[in-house]
Amino acid sequence: MATDFGDESGEKLFDWMLRVGQEAGQEALAKSAEGLAEAIRSTCASIEKSEGSGGAAAKTTEWAKLSMREFEDLPEYETLADMISSQLKKEGVEHAFANEGGKRFLVFKAKETPSVARAFRRIEESIPEACERAKGVLAKGEPLKERAARARAAAEQIAQKADKPREIEIAQARAK
């Protein structure tokens, strides 16, 4: 499915929406998607505000930190953080997530602020399509447990194939 979006962050966005939707239904999916879009808009406004202050902070400070408070209030925060990280990597932004005083922050080089804003906007732009796709999958009714079972089975097959050369090596060594 990652090829449907062309990148890993798009697939993570879709998976997040699908899990939220399966757990609470299509109404919750739409509400969570709107919550994510609002958190992104708010984050972009914060970034633009810091850029609008003449960029003095970016000139005097090497690192910037962005509060992730609004994202923490959404379901599956860790998945959202992974999705944001994937998009930031795609933009070439060096970053990390940090905890400070019980709060979570995105830390990045201040000079990369425009790229951070661009990454968040790209995520926001992909929300409607991912939401519609997740609603379509929900309408088909494949439960998360079944999807997880299929993923586990596929992972086991891959692991077994990876172990085959090792098993052959062991058998050949024993035969000698």
The reply to whether 31 falls in a domain is yes
First to last CA, the chain: 46
The reply to whether 139 falls in a domain is yes
> Is the model's pTM score more than 0.95?
no
**pLDDT tens per residue across span 125-161:** 999 999 998 888 877 765 666 767 777 776 677 666 6
Range of the domain at 51: 8-163
Report d(CA 153, CA 157) in Å as an integer.
Answer: 6
Number of domains in the chain: 1
The reply to whether 3 falls in a domain is no
The reply to whether 169 falls in a domain is no
The reply to whether 141 falls in a domain is yes
**pLDDT tens per residue across span 98-124:** 999 999 999 999 999 999 999 999 999
